[in-house]
Amino acid sequence: MGYAQKRLASTAAKLASVAPSTLRAFPPKEAVASSSSKTSFFDAQTWAAVQPPPPTALTAFAHRIGLGKVLPSTEIIQQACTHPSFLALYSRHHPNEPLPATNANLATLGNSLLGLFATEYVNASYPHLPTRVLKAAVSAYVGPTTCTGVAKEMGATPLLRWHRTPNTPLRPAVLHPDALSSVPRALTALVYQYRSLLSARKFVQKFFLSRDVDLRTMIKFRDPKLALAETVAKFGRERPISRLLKETGRFSNSPVFVVGIYSGADKLGEGFGSSLKMAEFRAAEDSLHRLYLTRQPPHLLQLPTSTFANGQGSVFDARGPQVPYIAGEMGDSEILHGSAGRTGARVPGHRSTAADEDLEDI
């Protein structure tokens, strides 16, 4: 398909469409021009946007994401799929009817829950990750773009009720991705309300934390050799030395050099390249990745929310079996690179020296 056809298909998907089988009368009375009524303009697109989605579609959506038994009625699902921007459109076209329930509060609650679960998961899985990379990883796992993608994959696009609002001085614009991203957040909040915090955590792990995020691309340095030297000094180890391990094809048009970086007898990392400098650069990057991306295996993860009992209602009042929680060991904190010495002395961190002192007693 060419670009124009793809663009047309995606625009058509964003437009509201109504199944005539769900309506009492089709075409609607407003659409039929009659001589007695005063001239009124009928916009099919606006009319379709105001109609509620059919209850069969809402139930099918709930079952598709595994919440068929959790969400008790279609009104709740409809509430989760109604963005607050819809109220302006609805009140203009149905001025005498009560306003529909929106997902404003649910989305805010769900957003907080998503942030909580993602942060504890990333922190427990990657204990040595630098702070800004941790924050970026949390955004990648549960941020607005991901929430929009999850909503589209769940099939919430035809069920979403929203209204495009332009930028005003009092509130930001509401575009299609913003409205879509509120749906998975609202669903998380509903799982928390109708089940428990730990069920909400399982829901978030199923749909958000199982997605692919490449953390290696988030950890990049202008000078990895310098960064590695500073990091090794902070951990109180010997200074890193690079050694050529293997080479082939020097002076030919396709040389390959394999360089390893050693701190004393420990090999920190290895890198390959078509020049010595390139191989050394990659070896330094590899060493830093091996440090910052040390991962706790998923079956050994200790998440702080496991200390809450698995029961319905308030998390602080629930009674039930609790899983024991063993806090992870903490190492020295990260180096703030390029901070012009503002972090303080470059001496080894106190946790590294404490470990050495224990050994000296033996």
Binding site for another protein (CB under 8 A): 9-10, 12-13, 21, 54, 56-57, 59-60, 63-66, 68, 132-133, 136, 139-141, 143, 145-146, 149, 152-155, 205-208, 210-213, 218-223, 227, 246, 248, 256, 258, 272, 337-338
Residue among 268 and 288 whose Cβ is closer to another protein:
288
- Select from 215, 211, 350 the least CA-distant residue to 290: 215
Q: Which is nearer to another protein, 72 or 338 (CB)?
A: 338
Cβ 207 vs Cβ 184: under 8 Å: yes
Nearer to another protein, 143 or 240 (CB): 143
Task: Give the nearest distance from C-beta 362 to another protein in angstroms.
Answer: 37
**Rounded least distance, CB 157 to another protein, Å:** 8
What burial class does residue 241 get, using C-beta atoms within 10 Å of its C-beta: 0-12 exposed, 13-18 middle, 19+ buried? Answer: exposed
Supply the DSSP string of 166-206, one letter for each residue. ---SSS--B-HHHHHHHHHHHHHHHHHHHS-HHHHHHHHHH
| Closest CB to another protein among residues 219, 232 | 219
- CB of 90 or CB of 219, closer to another protein: 219
Residue 124 vs 227, nearer CB to another protein: 227
Which CB atom, from 102 or from 148, has the smaller least distance to another protein?
148
CB 140 within 8 A of CB 121: no
Other beta carbons within 10 Å of 171 = 9
Distance CA 20, CA 111 (A): 35
d(CA 84, CA 107): 10
Which residues, 6 or more positions from 85, have their beta carbon under 8 angstroms from its beta carbon? 162, 163, 164, 165, 174, 179
Q: 84 or 205: whose CB is closer to another protein?
A: 205
Task: State the Cα–Cα distance between residues 317 and 308, nearest whole angstrom.
Answer: 10
Minimum CB distance to another protein smaller for 84 or for 221: 221
Q: How far is the CB of 353 from another protein (least distance, A)?
A: 26
**Smallest separation, CB 214 to another protein (Å):** 9
Q: Work out how close the CB of 10 gets to another protein at its nearest, in angstroms, rounded to a whole number.
A: 8
Q: In the complex, what is the shortest distance from the CB of residue 135 to another protein, in angstroms, rounded to a whole number?
A: 8
- Report in angstroms how near the CB of residue 150 gets to another protein at its nearest: 8
Phi/psi at 342 (5° precision): -75, -15
Minimum CB–partner distance for residue 248 and another protein (Å): 7
Query: What's the CA gap between 241 and 273, in Å, rounded?
Result: 17
CA distances from 64 to 67, 68, 105, 204 (A): 8, 8, 24, 15
Residue 97, Cβ neighbours under 10 Å: how many? 9
Q: Assess contact for 215 and 126: CB atoms under 8 A.
A: yes
